[in-house]
Amino acid sequence: MLKGLSRAGLGEIGNDEQFIELASKYGFQTVDVDAKGVIAHFGGAAQALEFLQQKEVTIGSIGLSVDWRSTDELFLAGLSGLVVDAEAAVALGCTRCCTYVLPSVDMNAAHFMVLATKRLRLCAQILGAFGIRLGLEFVGPHHLRTQWKNPFIWSMEDTLDWIDAIGEPNVGLLFDSYHWYTNGSNVADIEKLRADQIVHVHINDAPDVPIAEVMDGERLFTGEGVIDLAGFLRGLHAINYLGPVAQEILAPAATDSPEELVARSQAGFTKVFKAAGLE
Q: Which residues bind its own copies (CB under 8 A)?
A: 75-76, 79-80, 83-84, 87, 90, 108-115, 117-118, 121-122, 125-126, 129-130, 150-153, 158, 161-162, 164-165, 167-169, 194-196, 240, 242
How far apart (Å, rounded) are the C-alpha atoms in residues 20 and 247?
Answer: 14
Q: How far is the CB of 155 from its own copies (least distance, A)?
A: 9
Please provide the size of the chain in residues: 279
Q: Which is nearer to its own copies, 154 or 273 (CB)?
A: 154
Q: Which is nearer to its own copies, 25 or 194 (CB)?
A: 194
Q: Which is nearer to its own copies, 125 or 186 (CB)?
A: 125
Q: Which is nearer to its own copies, 196 or 213 (CB)?
A: 196
What would you measure as the largest C-alpha separation in the chain, in angstroms? Answer: 50
Tell me which amino acid residue 32 is.
D
CA quadruple 74, 170, 115, 143: dihedral, nearest 10: -90
72 contacts 114 by C-beta, under 8 angstroms = no
Q: How far is the CB of 141 from its own copies (least distance, A)?
A: 17
Q: How far is the CB of 50 from its own copies (least distance, A)?
A: 21
Q: Cβ neighbours of residue 84 under 8 Å, at least 6 residues apart?
A: 36
Residue ranges of E strands in 106-197: 133-138, 150-151, 171-176
How far apart (Å, rounded) are the C-alpha atoms in residues 181 and 21?
Answer: 31
Q: Which is nearer to its own copies, 15 or 146 (CB)?
A: 146
Q: How far is the CB of 172 from its own copies (least distance, A)?
A: 10
Residue ranges of E strands in the chain: 2-5, 30-31, 58-59, 62-63, 96-101, 104-105, 133-138, 150-151, 171-176, 198-203, 244-247
Q: Which is nearer to its own copies, 17 or 158 (CB)?
A: 158
DSSP3 helix / strand / coil % (the chain, rounded to 5): 45, 15, 40
Q: How far is the CB of 113 from its own copies (least distance, A)?
A: 4
Q: How far is the CB of 27 from its own copies (least distance, A)?
A: 25
How far apart (Å, rounded) are the C-alpha atoms in residues 67 and 232?
Answer: 31
Q: Which is nearer to its own copies, 46 or 165 (CB)?
A: 165
Q: How far is the CB of 165 from its own copies (least distance, A)?
A: 4
